[in-house]
Chain A
Amino acid sequence: MRKPDAVFVTFIAATPQAVWDLLTDKARSPQFFFGYVMSVGGAAGEPFTVTRADGTPDVAGKVLVHEPPHRLRVSWDMVAMPDVPTAELEFLLEPVDDVVRLTIRQFDGGPISDSFVEAGREGWSLIQASLKTLLETGRPLPPIKPRPPQ
């Protein structure tokens, strides 16, 4: 097995099916993907795309592995940055007791810049946190709750 370049893990109080349904739901994807629309084809070989709110294509790729509700793997090409080598992203949904461990593994297509590494870290962390909040509370992001001074 190839060594992943980055790994992101969160535990979500939901079923693998509920996580899979949200992850592959184009209509709900802007709620956890910074307002972008993520579209996941329904079988291996079908297109995988991420599109900005204004309709600009951001990522083009293909579904490589489609095993609902446990494993999804896609190829990832930055449309506006042809110099960035094609990456692959794998989503693993495993039941642990009565929750789901959601793992995202990132396989870079070659060396990428530090700013890209940082952007990926920040982006996937926030997407995972948003998925968790959305599934557990039904809200896209928690409202700010300032605590009164003691």
Chain B
Amino acid sequence: MDMDPVFRALADPSRRALLDRLHTENGQTLGELCEGLTMSRQAVSKHLVLLEEANLVAVVWRGREKLHYLNPVPIAEIADRWIGKFERARVKALVDLKRELESDDEKA
């Protein structure tokens, strides 16, 4: 698998922000994604093309409406390459622990 487009797409903070928005609310139109952003519609549209090319965004057409979905599969493929079957559970436990501890920090 050619991972270069995935890493290139993820290297930009604006594109990561778009993925964050889809992570929160999946299946948005370009118009919905632009709401509340300082980026121009054109810029968002360009970023989405790169995300689509990297397969990090999957598109579903509903009539004339183009819906954008976060596609986490390429990230799973990266994990598959460097994380073994048995390590995955341990890595997940560590990530969960970190999240748990950090959310406690925020509350304190």
Contact = CB atoms under 8 A, between A and B. Distances in A.
A4 B60 contact: yes
Contacts of B87: 144
A122 B83 CA distance: 14
Interface in B11-34: 26-27
B27 A141 contact: no
Contacts of A103: 58
Interface string A127-141: 011101100000011
Most interface-central of B71, B75, B83 (chain A CB within 10 A): B71
Contacts, number: 66
Interface residues of B, number: 25
B77 A129 contact: yes
Given A9-B58, A9-B73, A129-B73, A142 B81 contact: yes
Given A129-B80, A141-B80, A6 B69 contact: yes
Given A9-B55, A141-B85, A142-B81, A3 B62 contact: yes
B76 interface: yes
B84 A125 contact: no
Interface residues of A, number: 27
Contact of A6 (B26, B55, B62, B84): B26
A55 interface: no
B58 to A, nearest CB: 4
Given A128-B73, A142-B80, A143-B84, A8 B62 contact: no
Nearest to A34: B85
Contacts of B74: 10
Interface of B: 1, 26-27, 55, 58, 60, 62-63, 67, 69, 71-77, 79-85, 87
Interface of A: 1, 3-11, 103, 105, 121-122, 124-126, 128-130, 132-133, 140-144
